[in-house]
Amino acid sequence: SGESGAGKTESAKLLLQQIMNLCKGNSQLEQQILQVNPLLEAFGNAQTVMNDNSSRFGKYIQLRFQKNTVRGAKLSEYLLEKSRVVHQDAEERNFHIFYYMFAGLSSEEKEMYGLLDPSLYRYVSGQFGTQDVAQRWKDKYQEVCNALDMVGFQEQEQVDMQAILAGVLSLGNVTFDPEESNGPIKVSEASQGWLKAAAVDALSQFVCCVPCSLVSPSVSCCCSPCADARDSIAKMVYGRVFGWIVGKINELLAENVDPEVELTEIGILDIFGFENFAVNRFEQLCINLANEQLQHFFNHHIFHMEQAAYKEEGLPWETIAFNNNEPILNLFLAKPLGLLSLLDEQSAFPQATDKTFVDKLNSSFKGNLHFQPAQGRVLGFSITHYAGKVQYAARGFLEKNRDTLPASVRGLFISSVTPLLVPLHIHHEPRTTLARVKCGDEAHVLRHSLMVLMERLYSANPHFVRCIKPNSQKEPGVVDNQMVLLQLRYNGLLETIRIRRDGFSWRPFFEEFAER
């Protein structure tokens, strides 16, 4: 755990490599497990203001062992930031894979997928960078292709996947003419070419509630508002491609052993770090809540359980106080008046708006020490997290929580001309217990996801790797003492040092003690 950009993903990769080295098997399975990371980073990571390779999802890798040999692995993914597909803030980028494709595909391949100059695409903001950056992306694209081969993706699956991604980009450039009085909304003349480009994978049909005639220059659309439907489709398609990749990885890495054989397990959780940007949205709220849960888990193990054990054994012990964040979790998760419950309740009312949601929060949390209404006419609120105060902009909260699609859009997947799009739609099982394939209240999914994750963690014997961010400039070799001290304080590490120094951190079994 740690802030965004503190080094969690790099630490997790080093830990994974070390475990694979200790196995000394160097088997194909071990190589496949190591190849999973560059694949997931390409599709799940992006450049943010705080981190050039920021994980925009959480992952939990379960390694399963028989004696000292790794026999299989399973990956769970959490809360992919799908909104990044359609919108990025200043100085931020979309998911890496889009840039890798532009840099790595040959001219012939780009033509096959209908890809033009990257600066033309709304979803990638025209940010392409220098020649050096382009070369690095080209190398990364080759790395992704190698990883896809190594993990076991078929050639046609890789082609379909890239056709869908290219189609998503083209879909983002489809615009609509203003609605005439009582008439249908029409795809603008200027974006007819983009609509045809998106048809590489039948995505064009999804822009409308009824199948579109791609031949006709005026394509009627009964979705309102059309731009929101277009963006919802792009987010949903990308999310399902990502989920399909994770599912495919799990199929390929599943252990092939007798069910009677007992396997031991090491799990590595690498989850998005605490975030506090200039503008914090629904996604930051979800990320920061997950971090609150992890901090509470840390407190429980390091302070509650440790000190309870000392008291139980009658040891002379002066209780060490720590910053308990349980009241903040209650603010989020309590029923029926926690923030997430209120968000779900408001999302169920068609007439509700982001303003009515904020008004509801202001009245429900009046006097709560961890909640502050926004000043003036700002539509938002602030929450004092364990890591500090964060101001959230409430615009878009209800829409993102509903995460809805036009009802008649869904059936169009079944008749898609791109083979991969059909299974993307007709998966009936959730990709993981943490993300449902069907659309629904994101707050409900988040709450369930965190519950399942915490159950998993509480049933294990945890080791905590606390990553400390040295500076906010993304510079190597620079340590900002005040920034480091702040993190040591809010993470509870100063109290942890006290409990480790004054307590009994090494606990040998009696036989081991006697032998020594």
User: What pLDDT sits at residue 211?
Assistant: 36
| E-assigned strand segments in 155-271 | 176-177, 185-187, 220-221, 264-270
List, in order, residues 6 or more apart from 194 with CB less than 8 Å away.
Answer: 170, 171, 173, 174
Residue 132 has a pLDDT of: 85
Mean pLDDT, to the nearest integer, of 215-241?
A: 68
Distance of CA 206 to the CA centre of its chain: 25
**pLDDT of 37-64, one tens digit each?**
999 999 999 999 999 999 999 999 999 9
The average confidence (pLDDT) of the chain is 85
Q: Is 204 annotated as a binding residue?
A: no
First to last CA, the chain: 35
Report CA-CA distances (Å) from 374 to 224, 256, 365, 381: 31, 55, 13, 5
Which of these ranges, 80-84, 227-231, 373-377, has the smallest mean pLDDT? 227-231
Whether residue 222 is predicted with pLDDT greater than 90 in this model: the reply is no
Interacting residues of 378 by C-beta distance below 8 A, sequence separation 6+: 393
Render 273-321 in DSSP notation, one character per residue. PB---SSB-HHHHHHHHHHHHHHHHHHIIIIIIHHHHHHHTT---PPPP
d(CA 370, CA 328): 7
Q: pLDDT class for 425, splitting at 50, 70, 90?
A: low
Beta sheet of 220-221, edge-to-edge order: 176-177, 185-187, 220-221
Of 135-149, 205-219, 324-338, where does mean pLDDT reach its minimum? 205-219
Max CA distance (Å), the chain: 89
- Give the list of residues 6+ apart from residue 10 with CB closer than 8 angstroms, or none: none
Question: In the numeric block, which tokens belong to residue 388?
Answer: 């500090």
286 Cβ neighbours under 8 A, 6+ residues apart? 79, 442, 446
Predicted local confidence at residue 55, as pLDDT: 94
Angle 135-271-161 from CA coordinates, rounded to 5°: 50
Q: Is 3 among the annotated ligand-binding positions?
A: yes
User: In this predicted structure, what is the pLDDT of residue 23?
Assistant: 86
| Model confidence, pTM | 0.87
The residues assigned a catalytic role are 4-5, 9, 51, 54-55, 273, 275
pLDDT above 50 for 433: no
Q: Is the pLDDT of residue 202 over 60?
A: no
Query: Is the confidence at residue 126, as pLDDT, over 60?
Result: no
Tokens of 429: 């099982």
Residue with the bigger pLDDT between 287 and 186: it is 287
Does 8 count as an annotated binding residue?
yes
Mean pLDDT to the nearest integer, 133-149 = 94
The CATH code for residues 8-170+231-273 is: 3.40.850.10
Are the C-beta atoms of 195 and 214 separated by less than 8 Å?
yes
Known binder of ligand: residue 433? no
- Arithmetic mean of pLDDT, 340-360: 94
Q: For residue 92, what are its two tokens?
A: 């931020």
- Residue in 78, 75, 81, 125 with CA at minimum distance from that of residue 99: 125
**Cα–Cα distance for residue pair 428/418, rounded to 1 Å:** 19
Query: On the CB side of 47, how many CA atoms lie within 13 Å of its CA?
Result: 18
Burial 313-327 (b: 16+ CB within 10 A, else e): eeeebeeeebebbee
Residues in Cβ contact with 227 at an 8 Å cutoff, skipping those fewer than 6 apart: 175, 176
Candidate from 22-36, 53-67, 396-410 with smallest mean pLDDT: 396-410
In this prediction, residue 182 has a pLDDT band, given cuts at 50, 70 and 90, of low
Bridge partners (DSSP) of residue 66 are 69
CATH 3.30.70.1560 holds for 276-404+439-470+488-515: no
What is the mean pLDDT of the segment spanning 383-391?
96
Cβ density class 254-269: b for 16+ within 10 Å, e for less? ebeeeeeeeeeebebb
Burial class, 11, CB count within 10 angstroms (exposed 0-12 / middle 13-18 / buried 19+): middle
Q: What's the pLDDT score for residue 442?
A: 79
220 is in an annotated binding site: no
List the chain domain ranges.
8-170+231-273, 276-404+439-470+488-515
pLDDT in tens, 209-218: 333 333 333 4
Query: What is the token pair recorded at 405?
Result: 């699609």
| Amino acid occupying residue 288 | N
Known binding residue 7? Answer is yes
CA dihedral 414, 418, 424, 428 (to 10 degrees): 40
CA distance 96 to 137: 8
Is residue 411 pLDDT above 70, yes or no? no
Q: Span 190-195, mean pLDDT?
A: 84
CA 392 vs. chain centroid, Å, equals 19
Give mean pLDDT, residues 334-346: 94
Q: Quick: pLDDT tens for 452-509.
A: 889 989 999 999 999 999 999 999 999 999 999 999 999 999 999 999 899 887 889 9
Dihedral sign computed on CA atoms, order 366, 372, 375, 381? negative
pLDDT at position 419 is: 61
Region 230-250: mean pLDDT is 91
The rounded distance, in Å, linking the Cα atoms of 89 and 219 is 31
pLDDT band at 223 (very low <50, low <70, confident <90, very high): very low
Asked if the model's pLDDT at residue 427 lies above 50, the reply is: no
Q: How far apart are CA 59 and CA 169, in angstroms?
A: 26
- What average pLDDT does range 425-446 have in this prediction? 50
Q: For 89-123, write each residue's pLDDT tens digit.
A: 888 999 999 999 999 999 999 999 999 999 999 99
Cβ atoms of 343 and 370 within 8 Å: the answer is: no
